Amino acid sequence: MRNQVFPKMQAKKTRYPLFTGIALILFVSFAAGCGGSKSKNNAIASVRISSTSLSMVAGDVVALSASAVDSSNANVSTTFTFNSSNTQIATISPAGNVCAGVWDTAFVICNGSDAQGNPISGTAIITATAGGVTSGPVTVAVHPSITRVTIDPVTEPCFSIAQTHQFVAHAFHNTTEITNQIGSFSWSAASPTVASVDANGLATAHVPGITGVVASVGATSSPAVFLKSCMPVLIVLHVNGDPAGVPTESAVMNVSDTKIVQADMVDELGAVTPNAPVTILSNNSTVATVSGTTLTAASPGGAGLQAVCAPPNCGIGIGTPIYSNLFGIFVAGASPNTTTVYATSTFPTVPGSSIPLIPIDASKTPPVAGTTIFLPGFPNSLVFDRSGATGFIGTSSGLVTLDTGSNVVNLISPVPIGKVLAVSADGTQVIVSNAANDPSTGQPIDPFPSEQRVWVFDKAANTITTFVVPGAVAANFDDDGFRAYIVASNGNVYVFSPFLTLQTFNIGGVNTDVTQLASGPFAYVANSAGLQSIATCNNAPQTTNPPTNSSAIQFVHSIRDTNTLVAVDSPGVDIENVNTADLTPPLTVTPANCPGIVTYSNNFLDFGVGAFTARQLLVGSAGTHIAVLPAGLNKVLTVVNANNVFSAGSVPLPAGATEALNGSLTPDGATLWVGVGGTNTVDRINLNTNVDEVQIPMTFKKADGSPAPPNLVVIKPK
């Protein structure tokens, strides 16, 4: 209890009931013989105490425990004698209770005041002895109560990886500094992956980001002082073992080939860190995978590797993603015909009848429609995760998953009745919107803006988050999973991130599509005013946008192994080459200066069919083939890229066909599977020869019993 007698300074006495000390003596003696095997000899080799140092306010009591072991490290049952080197500063009861001051004779009241009534202060050494063996010392610092702890501010802008900083803390009793009386501080870092702090306050930078550092004494802690581990200004991704200054930043591989890659970082101070603590990832894991630093070619096509510093693994507390150069990968060969193609119709069927999804085995000659899978509602979309293990289907009954191993569907939730816009690279996040158009009507699934929602399904947590945002029609996730851009027909761009609050800004016009540059630093929005560019490091619309043939851009996709965009720009397509410049250290990375300089060159290809409205744009991962499905034309418009020489062409559809409705490309881009109206078939088109070579009849029905076209056709990625 507090002693209020002395006016100069408040001291403390702690009263313990008499029986407590007796009970604890018995407990310590008993406990020393429990919890381990009995010793074969009672010779004590070592005596240990539970703490090595104590910082105590005068009048406080802290219990210490002691144990003894023999030479085999087995517990020895014994009793202990405790000793204080300075009984005017700290005394200890036979039970091991340390008084910051002087115990009374019964070890009931701890008096923390000296003869003048001032709080006792100073240091003492506590030891425990048993069987002639004495423990190591416990340093006890006794001091007045601590009312405030501070840490000297950090003056350096940041610290390069492995650099250290010595923090200095101060303790105060009211306005009087008592640092030299309290012993040691306890140190902690909010994000120890960014920087660790040892017991002496020495911090070491590990991973780019910001962390708060706190010093504590007892229950009193300082305000956090922030330390920044330098952000990268430049990340160079290359083949391991390259000669200095000559990085290899692309590779042509065969399936199953491997390479070891390396990411080097130049930070804000100009320091170079080889094998930097950044994440290396593939933007197309169907074609190429990366595990740690091992790159493996998985399937013919194109892919790009990125090294990225973005939360939650890098740049913690900053939220400004920094991307490396693009490491381009071309895997030679043709995609195997062992995949499955899924086909359905989005038109409501005859009331009371089942809603079919047809798997087509592409490995058969000719391909064969398999056993029908029945859906719980009318579908409007099907998007696979990159592994091809799970398909996410938007239906009139809610969000449905398709297990491609068993071809079993499962209604995840009836809440998100909308279209699946995007699935994250790791397959754990799914974006659904009811403002997107239903393919069977061409109108928003829910036409009322006040009712339009975006849902994000988290597969790992099995949760659905609802956002009241109107107009969302397309979305694209970062390859690193940090965020997704969701674009709306009202000109809004919504930025969703599991790590940040939803952000909204308006770029004007009507948005219809969105993609991200293969290397990561810019996102591009197809807009009625042309292609609009957004810097991904700060989510800021850019003043310099890609040049286009006209302003009405309908769709935009990126090629995966080069920084090239493809945009539908009736009556043709724009092939946009994007060149990004590196930032130059020394530089403090901020949202204002994080976008690098970017330049564009455009190659417009006219299909020669006049103005058209595209139903879909399909871009091969390596950009060797591009397909556009024009509404109302009985042909597929194509582009062939032969060594960066692009040429436009078309594939005529069979007699009776009216138009290609919806389709999907194999990973190598050479084969198009597409649903065709008029004939109501699923066709396989060879884009190497521009021939529609296989037609598989479908028997879907509309509500009135008339034939329904297969207007949703998707290839399982692998």
Is 422 inside any structural domain?
Answer: no
What is the rounded average pLDDT of the residues 646-662? 97
Do 412 and 457 touch, CB atoms closer than 8 A? Answer: yes
Instruction: Output the CA–CA distances (angstroms, integers) from residue 314 to 211, 231, 323, 586, in the order listed.
Output: 12, 9, 11, 20
Specify the number of domains making up the chain: 3
Is 651 inside any structural domain?
Answer: no
Is 581 inside any structural domain?
Answer: no
**420, two tokens:** 């699946």
Residue 292: CATH number of its domain: 2.60.40.1080
In the prediction, which pLDDT does 33 show? 40
Lowest-pLDDT range of 31-45, 49-63, 98-112, 536-550: 31-45
> How many C-beta neighbours within 10 Å does residue 426 have?
17
In the prediction, which pLDDT does 219 show? 86
CA-based nearest residue to 623, from 689, 572, 541, 566? 566
Q: Both 237 and 225 in a single domain? A: no
501-505: long-range contacts at Cβ-Cβ below 8 A with a sequence spacing of 24 or more?
502/467, 502/469, 503/539, 504/469, 505/539, 505/541
What is the rounded average pLDDT of the residues 22-33? 36
In the listed set 143, 164, 183, which residue is the last one of a domain according to the structure?
A: 143
CA-based nearest residue to 710, from 666, 678, 669, 685? 678
Q: Both 168 and 199 in a single domain? A: yes
Instruction: Work out the mean pLDDT of the chain and round it to a whole number.
Output: 92
In the prediction, which pLDDT does 15 show? 53
Instruction: Output the CA–CA distances (angstroms, integers) from residue 579 to 211, 306, 539, 602, in the order listed.
Output: 34, 16, 19, 12
Q: Both 131 and 184 in a single domain? A: no
In the prediction, which pLDDT does 13 show? 56
In the listed set 125, 143, 161, which residue is the last one of a domain according to the structure?
A: 143
Is 279 inside any structural domain?
Answer: yes
In whole angstroms, what is the distance from residue 697 CA to residue 500 CA? 48
Q: Both 8 and 129 in a single domain? A: yes
In the listed set 306, 331, 356, which residue is the last one of a domain according to the structure?
A: 331
668-704 pLDDT, tens per residue? Answer: 999 999 999 999 999 999 999 999 999 999 999 999 9
Q: Both 153 and 191 in a single domain? A: yes
Name the pLDDT band for 347 (thresholds 50, 70, 90).
very high
Q: Both 135 and 13 in a single domain? A: yes
pTM for this one? 0.85
Is 695 inside any structural domain?
Answer: no
Question: In this model, does residue 29 exceed pLDDT 50?
Answer: no
Do 618 and 636 touch, CB atoms closer than 8 A? Answer: no
Name the pLDDT band for 14 (thresholds 50, 70, 90).
low
Question: In this model, does residue 468 exceed pLDDT 90?
Answer: yes
Do 211 and 165 touch, CB atoms closer than 8 A? Answer: no
Question: In this model, does residue 495 exceed pLDDT 60?
Answer: yes
Name the pLDDT band for 338 (thresholds 50, 70, 90).
confident
187-224 pLDDT, tens per residue? Answer: 999 999 999 999 999 999 999 999 999 999 988 999 99
238-282 pLDDT, tens per residue? Answer: 999 999 889 999 999 999 999 999 999 999 999 999 999 999 999
Is 171 inside any structural domain?
Answer: yes
Name the pLDDT band for 413 (thresholds 50, 70, 90).
very high
Structural domain of 184: 148-229
Do 499 and 485 touch, CB atoms closer than 8 A? Answer: no
Name the pLDDT band for 28 (thresholds 50, 70, 90).
very low
Q: What percent of the chain has pLDDT over 90?
A: 88
Q: Both 217 and 238 in a single domain? A: no
